[in-house]
Amino acid sequence: MLPAERKQEILKFVRQKKAATIKDLSTYFHVHEATIRRDLTELENSKQLKRTHGGVIINEEEIHSEPDFDLREESFSEEKKRIGQKAAQFIEEGDTVILDSGTTTTQIAEAIKDRKNITIVTNDIHIAALLRHSKIKVIVTGGILFTENFILNGEITNYALHHLNVKKAFIATPALHHEKGLTHFDESLIAAKMNMIDAAKEIYVVTDHSKFSRISLHTFATMDKIDYIITDSKINEHMKEKFASLCDVVVV
């Protein structure tokens, strides 16, 4: 068995058992414990498993916060760039589009900045600035500026979004779970996201692999609201299959 195949089988094994020891895995896969430790280190680095004393559990940790914009921009930057470029392929001439605030949605703006005859609605000052010299019509929602992450938010933001009708919305999320849907740790930010989803005919979630199987306090969209998930190739096959039964999953 190739190392990549073994790691996928380790994930399946741990999901079935809920937890496993290194000895269990070594015996089951007929490999040395040192080999299992290397596999588990790689799986933990990709946030698919969580190491415990002598073993491992599935990583479905609750998210309570996230780093500021600059740190998030550096995290999985190549993956986010690929996601942004792929998402841009779903945007057609004449489209009206909401771009949610976030580092991945910023990559969508980067990918479309040389195009024209598109209307972008955003609550992200960074995205608006990125498109300022383009031939794209940019509508900024207004609202209170959250200076640490470039978000416009609050009653003005929600009012603007509530009165819009767009074709597509590209939504970011800090946590994505197959049962709980899209969740967020900050209740003050979820109303805008809910209004974005309500305003659009087609909903695209753009997120890197590290956000899967995470849960935060507040659900702002159930999975039946989502048409597409666009993510990177580090998502494990089991996770991909689980979400593909709920919506279209595009992997880049």
Question: What's the pTM?
Answer: 0.78
pLDDT in tens, 80-120: 999 999 999 999 999 999 999 999 999 999 999 999 999 99
Return the CA Rg of the chain. Answer: 19
In the prediction, which pLDDT does 98 show? 98
Percent of the chain exceeding pLDDT 90 equals 67
Residues 142-176 have pLDDT tens digits of 999 998 888 999 999 999 999 999 999 999 999 99
